[in-house]
């Protein structure tokens, strides 16, 4: 047979001049939260819109010229187009907010690094919660006009496309993105040339191209090594998200961290605050330190200068979840780097030392090289403080510098269009700028119940259409019969969406216990098979291809869903992505979450559900422990920590069954004469009112600004001033304290009183051996608390001693006169720790002596 060559030619449609700005709309991820913009594209050719996976840019390259001209001549289309542009222009005409953020000056800017970003299904460089959170952070930063830039990697293959066969086996299908079709463009220098950076890897230099993504006011720069000038192996570095082995992972993290810093530099962007979202990007801190050492700073001062304006957010709740690399591997990649830092190999490795972990630990590196660290919910803040407690060995975890900021979700992205229309009508357009105003959101109550309910029903019916399409496709591919499909879809009736629907969708990681509800199948049967009160479960989610137990969960769900009595009552829908997520969180009645406490760092899908009036039934873990107030959903109390896993699962699943059977189902089906349950509507409204103003990304980013960014920005400037004078002096001071602290001690001189009358002053006196330190290098403190239950140290009242004199032996004497304000038995402690006005956190040195 003769061979033949497939020649290709791409014909680009010419955009009619009246629609000339469609391209601009397609190149700005503003469309990822502006549904009117997406609707414009879809209206031109709905089938192509589906076929291109809701990707405006890919759409514009393929749409029929004639359809474009038809749209350009259609008055109603033009008026929608114009109104979209009006909104787009007014959004973009707001200028960056330096002036409104006290402590920010023109030119100041936050750089946000993350391994994955999830904005919209048309830019598949995310896998799940972490990426979507990062996307939401950027979107809210844009909404707030925050001077902000983000850095990540552009993966040729993002996360996989999932199919599930008839036996419940997950197949991971990877597809290559054509970058021409993605909403990205090469970042350019002023002279029009493409921005590229070189990153050193062992024995070679790798070139990375920089792409730019526009998200409203914010730019995201993505690095890509898939360039002809790189050898094949290096081209593959940015090929796949969370693929490959440790070698690939370290190379990706080097490209992100080190290449990311070079890229910003190359473009003349000079961030004044640096945020590493998760430890993957922590090499960024090393690269910045290297730059300072090259400028002549010593390493210790460089660390102080870098750390002081660096924020690190951890998202993991188990030590094993932290990234780490072996010593040998670190040696391969960083021995030269260590030389550039002018420190010994031991000093270098100490930066990544986490007690209990032999490897170089990225969380340890991130904490050593940042001064602001946080978890993503209250519980997770505590968990992280405990996991990382050894990094401040003499400080109790409850007092160490790990803080928390609870996650939030970007409301315009995840709120269904029907809700925003209803809000426009009943709350006024200003709801968009009142995102965090709790009082304002009580206006939701003014929405008539029947309208509220009808939106819920509409959203459920839309979700049903989507699910029918997916299951039909799934069934056809798995060679299922028509009869089988009918059985599957018998409750999925978009015309009559009256069945109670419970949704569970997220990554199938084992700690999320997707199959908890299958603990007692008899009980589940009784709940699901009540002929009066039908219930439908929808499951969806991907398991990482290397996560075998995670894939077993999928098989188990599939197996149960195929049991004759559950067929059509438990559905497993494949390929969970942002699009399906938006549908499900808004369309189901109840959102389930059953993590093992305290492993759900935050969880965000329940927030997406809550803002759409979907009720949460969830274990009190992550955000729900804060969000749940007794009236806005249902809570499963976790079994106590020491309960054996089997018993714990039994106990908690029982709580789920009881809540469903005794509360959720009866309430849902107590329908009044208009066909819905007014109790349900009341609870859903209240849930929306209580959750939306709190668990949105605007509140989250505002917290980052007010608690972290402003202070880091100011302190960064303070440390850098006069050729890093303060960075040098704090580094020298810390070295002095470290050397002296081993022989520092404290003893009490006054005789403790056991009983006093109210109004009596206590006179405390201690003598400190300072081993060469000065009295103002330390703080001596009284911690006092009324003793009625075990209190956390950070809730004790604190009183500072005054330095009095040096005694004959050279000990420093400190005194405190204190009159207790409260009666009753009080507990108190005396302690001393190093202190310096330039520290970010008073206990950041991790040194403490107690009496
Ligand atoms: C929100 C979201 C997640 C995160 O869900 P969790 O509740 O945090 O597990 C994962 N995947 C997609 C597609 C999402 O939209």
Asked if residue 419 and residue 401 are part of one domain, the reply reads no
- Domain membership of residue 102 (yes or no) is no
Q: To test ligand 1's pocket by mutation, which of 116, 131, 137, 507 has the most ligand atoms within 8 angstroms of CB?
A: 507
Nearby residues of 18 by Cβ (< 8 Å), 6 or more positions away: 72, 78
* Residue matched to tokens 């996991």: 387
Asked if residue 459 and residue 504 are part of one domain, the reply reads yes
555 in Cβ contact with 543 (< 8 Å): no
Ligand 1 centroid, distance to 506 Cα (angstroms): 5
Q: Which structure tokens are listed for 160?
A: 């996989």
CB of 605 sitting under 6 A from ligand 1: yes
Q: Which structure tokens are listed for 580?
A: 């399906």
Question: Mean pLDDT across the stretch 185-213?
Answer: 97
Q: What pLDDT shows up at residue 400?
A: 93
- Give the residue from 463, 411, 447, 499 showing the smallest Cα distance to 682: 447
Question: Mean pLDDT across the stretch 428-452?
Answer: 96
CB of 506 sitting under 6 A from ligand 1: yes
- Domain membership of residue 606 (yes or no) is yes
- Distance between CA atoms of residues 742 and 601, nearest Å: 36
CA torsion angle for 466, 468, 470, 476 (degrees, to 10)?
-160
Ligand 1 centroid, distance to 175 Cα (angstroms): 21
Ligand 1 atom closest to the CA of 576, numbered from 1: 13
Ligand 1 centroid, distance to 320 Cα (angstroms): 21
Predicted confidence band of residue 523 (pLDDT cuts 50, 70, 90): very high
CB of 576 sitting under 6 A from ligand 1: yes
Asked if residue 121 and residue 29 are part of one domain, the reply reads no
- Domain membership of residue 708 (yes or no) is no
Q: To test ligand 1's pocket by mutation, which of 413, 506, 607 has the most ligand atoms within 8 angstroms of CB?
A: 506
pLDDT at 485 over 70: yes
- H or E element: which one contains 171? strand 170-173
Domain boundary among 42, 66, 92: 92
- Distance between CA atoms of residues 331 and 427, nearest Å: 60
Question: Mean pLDDT across the stretch 238-254?
Answer: 95
Positive or negative torsion for Cα 679, 682, 686, 692 = positive
Whole-number average pLDDT of the chain: 95
- Give the residue from 102, 151, 104, 96 showing the smallest Cα distance to 288: 151
Per DSSP (E only), the strands in 245-381 are: 273-277, 310-313, 324-325, 360-361, 372-375
Mind listing the pLDDT tens digit for each residue in 560-617? 999 999 999 999 999 999 999 999 999 999 999 999 999 999 999 999 999 999 999 9
pLDDT at 663 over 70: yes
Q: What pLDDT shows up at residue 711?
A: 96
Nearby residues of 449 by Cβ (< 8 Å), 6 or more positions away: 676, 678, 681, 682
Question: Mean pLDDT across the stretch 822-832?
Answer: 91
Q: Which structure tokens are listed for 320?
A: 């094993």
Domain boundary among 702, 718, 743: 702
CB of 599 sitting under 6 A from ligand 1: no
Q: Which structure tokens are listed for 390?
A: 């050894």
Predicted confidence band of residue 170 (pLDDT cuts 50, 70, 90): very high
Ligand 1 centroid, distance to 826 Cα (angstroms): 46
CB of 578 sitting under 6 A from ligand 1: yes
- Domain membership of residue 1 (yes or no) is no
Positive or negative torsion for Cα 260, 261, 266, 268 = positive
- Domain membership of residue 8 (yes or no) is no
Give phi and psi for 711, each to the nearest 5. -65, -40
Predicted confidence band of residue 826 (pLDDT cuts 50, 70, 90): confident
Q: To test ligand 1's pocket by mutation, which of 125, 126, 132, 621 has the most ligand atoms within 8 angstroms of CB?
A: 132
Asked if residue 671 and residue 567 are part of one domain, the reply reads yes
Q: Which structure tokens are listed for 261?
A: 């810093």
Ligand 1 centroid, distance to 487 Cα (angstroms): 29
* Residue matched to tokens 């402003």: 710
CB of 159 sitting under 6 A from ligand 1: no
- Give the residue from 708, 701, 707, 714 showing the smallest Cα distance to 150: 701
348 in Cβ contact with 338 (< 8 Å): yes
The enclosing domain of 822 has a CATH number of 2.60.40
Helix, strand, or coil (residue 198): strand
Asked if residue 589 and residue 605 are part of one domain, the reply reads yes
Ligand 1 centroid, distance to 2 Cα (angstroms): 51
CB of 126 sitting under 6 A from ligand 1: no
Ligand 1 atom closest to the CA of 127, numbered from 1: 11
End-to-end CA distance of the chain: 91
Ligand 1 centroid, distance to 604 Cα (angstroms): 6
* Side-chain-facing half-sphere of 190: CA atoms under 13 Å: 3
Mind listing the pLDDT tens digit for each residue in 549-565? 999 999 999 999 999 99
Of all protein residues, whose CA lies closest to atom 11 belonging to ligand 1?
128
Ligand 1 atom closest to the CA of 506, numbered from 1: 9
Counting residues of the chain whose pLDDT is more than 90, the rounded percentage is: 92
- Distance between CA atoms of residues 687 and 509, nearest Å: 27
Ligand 1 centroid, distance to 607 Cα (angstroms): 10
Domain boundary among 31, 58, 92: 92
- Distance between CA atoms of residues 701 and 146, nearest Å: 9
Ligand 1 centroid, distance to 541 Cα (angstroms): 9
Ligand 1 centroid, distance to 133 Cα (angstroms): 9
Partners of 639 in beta bridges: none
- Domain membership of residue 796 (yes or no) is yes
- Give the residue from 92, 110, 183, 11 showing the smallest Cα distance to 713: 110
- Distance between CA atoms of residues 27 and 31, nearest Å: 9
Domain count, the chain: 4
Q: What pLDDT shows up at residue 788?
A: 66
pLDDT at 317 over 70: yes
Ligand 1 centroid, distance to 129 Cα (angstroms): 4
Predicted confidence band of residue 24 (pLDDT cuts 50, 70, 90): very high
pLDDT at 837 over 70: yes
Pairing verdict, β 812-818 and 218-224? unpaired
CB of 622 sitting under 6 A from ligand 1: no
Cα dist. 64→45, 59, 478 in Å?
9, 10, 34
Domain that holds residue 829: 734-850
Of all protein residues, whose CA lies closest to atom 1 belonging to ligand 1?
605
470 in Cβ contact with 488 (< 8 Å): no
Ligand 1 atom closest to the CA of 409, numbered from 1: 1
Ligand 1 centroid, distance to 666 Cα (angstroms): 29
Q: To test ligand 1's pocket by mutation, which of 122, 129, 585 has the most ligand atoms within 8 angstroms of CB?
A: 129
Ligand 1 atom closest to the CA of 512, numbered from 1: 9
Number of H helices, E strands in the chain: 31, 28
349 in Cβ contact with 330 (< 8 Å): yes
Cα dist. 25→20, 121, 156, 179, 433 in Å?
10, 16, 23, 17, 23
Asked if residue 278 and residue 152 are part of one domain, the reply reads yes
Opening angle at CA 758, ends 752 and 760, nearest 5: 55
Lowest model confidence (mean pLDDT) among 98-107, 242-251, 829-838:
98-107
- Domain membership of residue 300 (yes or no) is yes
CB of 582 sitting under 6 A from ligand 1: no
Asked if residue 419 and residue 403 are part of one domain, the reply reads no
Mind listing the pLDDT tens digit for each residue in 84-128? 999 999 999 987 766 677 778 889 999 999 999 999 999 999 999
* Side-chain-facing half-sphere of 754: CA atoms under 13 Å: 0
Ligand 1 centroid, distance to 341 Cα (angstroms): 40
Give phi and psi for 848, each to the nearest 5. -160, 140
Of all protein residues, whose CA lies closest to atom 4 belonging to ligand 1?
129
Strand ranges across the sheet with 570-573: 570-573, 535-540, 500-505, 590-593, 615-619, 633-636
Asked if residue 404 and residue 419 are part of one domain, the reply reads no
Q: Which structure tokens are listed for 80?
A: 């929608």
CB of 411 sitting under 6 A from ligand 1: no
The enclosing domain of 511 has a CATH number of 3.40.50.2000
CB of 129 sitting under 6 A from ligand 1: yes
CA torsion angle for 684, 689, 690, 693 (degrees, to 10)?
140
pLDDT at 724 over 90: yes
- Domain membership of residue 4 (yes or no) is no
Q: What pLDDT shows up at residue 794?
A: 80
- Give the residue from 635, 630, 624 showing the smallest Cα distance to 686: 630
- Distance between CA atoms of residues 419 and 598, nearest Å: 33
Ligand 1 centroid, distance to 695 Cα (angstroms): 14
pLDDT at 356 over 90: no
Q: Which structure tokens are listed for 370?
A: 């940042």
Q: What pLDDT shows up at residue 1?
A: 59
Predicted confidence band of residue 336 (pLDDT cuts 50, 70, 90): very high
Asked if residue 177 and residue 126 are part of one domain, the reply reads yes
pLDDT at 13 over 90: no
Higher pLDDT, residue 6 or 501: 501
pLDDT at 714 over 90: yes
- Distance between CA atoms of residues 590 and 606, nearest Å: 10
Cα dist. 653→92, 302, 414, 514, 691 in Å?
49, 52, 29, 11, 25
DSSP calls for 462-483: HHHHHHHHHHHHHHHHTT--HH
CB of 603 sitting under 6 A from ligand 1: yes
Ligand 1 centroid, distance to 131 Cα (angstroms): 9
- Distance between CA atoms of residues 517 and 514, nearest Å: 8
- Distance between CA atoms of residues 27 and 591, nearest Å: 34
- Distance between CA atoms of residues 419 and 533, nearest Å: 27
Asked if residue 580 and residue 446 are part of one domain, the reply reads yes
Asked if residue 680 and residue 632 are part of one domain, the reply reads yes
**Cis amide linkage into residue 598, ω under 30° from 0:** yes
Ligand 1 centroid, distance to 139 Cα (angstroms): 16
Strand ranges across the sheet with 762-769: 745-748, 762-769, 812-818, 802-806
Q: What pLDDT shows up at residue 99?
A: 62
CB of 604 sitting under 6 A from ligand 1: yes
CB of 581 sitting under 6 A from ligand 1: yes
Q: What pLDDT shows up at residue 98?
A: 65
* Side-chain-facing half-sphere of 851: CA atoms under 13 Å: 21
Asked if residue 395 and residue 426 are part of one domain, the reply reads no
Pairing verdict, β 802-806 and 812-818? antiparallel
Q: What is the CA radius of gyration of the chain?
A: 29
Pairing verdict, β 535-540 and 500-505? parallel
Question: Mean pLDDT across the stretch 232-242?
Answer: 95
Ligand 1 centroid, distance to 78 Cα (angstroms): 36
């Amino acid at each position: 047979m003769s061979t033949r060559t497939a020649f290709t030619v791409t014909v680009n449609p010419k955009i009619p001049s009246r629609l000339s700005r469609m391209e601009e709309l397609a190149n700005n991820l503003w469309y990822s939260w502006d549904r009117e913009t997406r609707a414009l594209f879809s209206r031109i050719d709905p089938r192509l819109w589906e076929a291109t996976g809701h990707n405006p840019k890919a759409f514009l390259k393929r749409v029929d010229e004639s359809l474009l001209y038809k749209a350009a001549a259609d008055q109603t289309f033009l008026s929608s187009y114009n109104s979209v542009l009006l909104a787009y222009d007014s959004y973009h005409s707001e200028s960056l907010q330096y002036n409104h953020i006290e402590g920010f000056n023109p030119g100041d800017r936050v750089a946000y690094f993350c391994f994955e970003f999830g904005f919209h299904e048309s830019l598949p460089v995310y896998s799940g919660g972490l990426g979507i959170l990062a996307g939401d952070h950027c979107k809210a930063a844009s909404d707030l006009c925050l001077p902000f830039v983000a850095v990540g990697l552009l993966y040729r293959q993002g996360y996989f496309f999932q199919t599930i066969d008839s036996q419940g086996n997950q197949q991971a299908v990877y597809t290559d993105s054509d970058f021409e079709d993605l909403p990205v463009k090469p970042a350019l220098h002023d002279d029009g040339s493409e921005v590229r950076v070189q990153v050193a890897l062992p024995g070679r230099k790798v070139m990375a191209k920089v792409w730019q993504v526009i998200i409203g006011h914010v730019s995201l720069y993505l690095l890509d090594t898939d360039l002809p000038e790189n050898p094949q192996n290096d081209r593959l570095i940015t090929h796949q998200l969370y693929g490959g082995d440790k070698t690939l992972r370290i190379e990706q993290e080097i490209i992100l961290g080190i290449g990311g810093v070079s890229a910003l530099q190359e473009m003349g962007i000079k961030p004044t605050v640096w945020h590493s979202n998760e430890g993957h990007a922590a090499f960024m801190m090393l690269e910045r330190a290297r730059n300072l050492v090259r400028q002549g700073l010593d390493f210790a001062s460089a660390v102080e200068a870098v750390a002081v304006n660096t924020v690190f957010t951890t998202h993991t709740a188990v030590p094993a979840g932290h990234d780490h690399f072996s010593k040998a591997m670190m040696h391969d990649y960083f021995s030269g780097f260590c030389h550039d830092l002018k420190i010994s190999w031991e000093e270098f490795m100490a930066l990544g030392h986490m007690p209990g972990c032999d490897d170089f630990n990225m969380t340890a590196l991130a904490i050593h090289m940042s001064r602001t660290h946080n978890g993503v919910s209250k519980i997770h803040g505590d968990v992280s403080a405990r996991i990382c407690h050894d990094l401040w060995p003499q400080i109790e975890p409850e007092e160490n510098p790990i803080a928390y900021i609870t996650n939030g979700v970007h409301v315009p992205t995840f709120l269904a269009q029907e809700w925003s229309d209803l809000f426009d009508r009943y709350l006024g357009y200003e709801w968009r700028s009142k995102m965090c105003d709790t009082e304002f959101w009580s206006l939701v109550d003014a929405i008539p119940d029947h309208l509220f309910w009808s939106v819920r029903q509409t959203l459920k019916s839309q979700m049903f259409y989507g699910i029918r399409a997916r299951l039909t496709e799934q069934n056809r591919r798995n060679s299922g019969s028509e009869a089988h499909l009918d059985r599957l879809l018998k409750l999925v009736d978009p015309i009559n969406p009256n069945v109670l629907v419970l949704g569970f969708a997220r990554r199938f990681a084992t700690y999320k216990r997707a199959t908890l509800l299958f603990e007692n199948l008899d009980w589940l049967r009784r709940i699901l098979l009540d002929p009066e009160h039908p219930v439908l479960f929808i499951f969806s989610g991907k398991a990482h291809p290397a996560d075998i137990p995670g894939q077993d969960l999928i098989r188990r769900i599939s197996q149960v869903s195929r049991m004759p009595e559950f067929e059509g009552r438990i559905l497993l829908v494949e390929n969970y992505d942002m699009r399906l997520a938006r549908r499900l969180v808004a369309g189901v009645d109840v959102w389930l979450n059953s993590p093992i406490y305290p492993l759900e760092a935050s969880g965000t899908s329940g927030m997406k559900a809550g803002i759409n009036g979907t009720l949460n039934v969830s274990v009190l873990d992550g955000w729900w422990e804060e969000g749940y107030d007794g009236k806005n959903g249902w809570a499963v109390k976790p079994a106590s920590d020491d309960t054996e896993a089997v018993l714990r699962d039994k106990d908690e699943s029982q709580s789920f069954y009881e809540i469903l059977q005794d509360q959720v189902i009866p309430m849902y089906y107590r329908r009044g004469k208009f066909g819905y349950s007014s109790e349900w509507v009341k609870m859903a409204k209240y849930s929306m009112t209580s959750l939306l103003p709190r668990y949105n990304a605007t509140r989250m980013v505002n917290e980052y600004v007010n608690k972290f960014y402003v202070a880091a920005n100011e302190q960064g400037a303070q440390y850098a001033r006069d050729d890093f004078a303060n960075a040098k002096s704090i580094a020298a001071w810390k070295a002095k304290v470290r050397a002296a602290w081993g022989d520092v001690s404290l003893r009490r001189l006054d005789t403790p009183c056991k009983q006093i009358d109210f109004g009596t002053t206590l006179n405390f006196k201690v003598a400190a051996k300072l081993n060469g330190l000065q009295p103002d290098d330390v703080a001596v403190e009284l911690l006092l608390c009324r003793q009625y239950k075990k209190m956390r140290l950070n809730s004790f009242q604190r009183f500072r001693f005054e330095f009095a004199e040096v005694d004959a032996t050279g000990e420093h004497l400190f005194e405190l006169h204190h009159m207790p304000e409260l009666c009753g038995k009080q507990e108190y402690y005396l302690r001393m720790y190093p202190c310096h006005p330039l520290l970010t956190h008073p206990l950041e040195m991790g040194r403490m002596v107690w009496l």
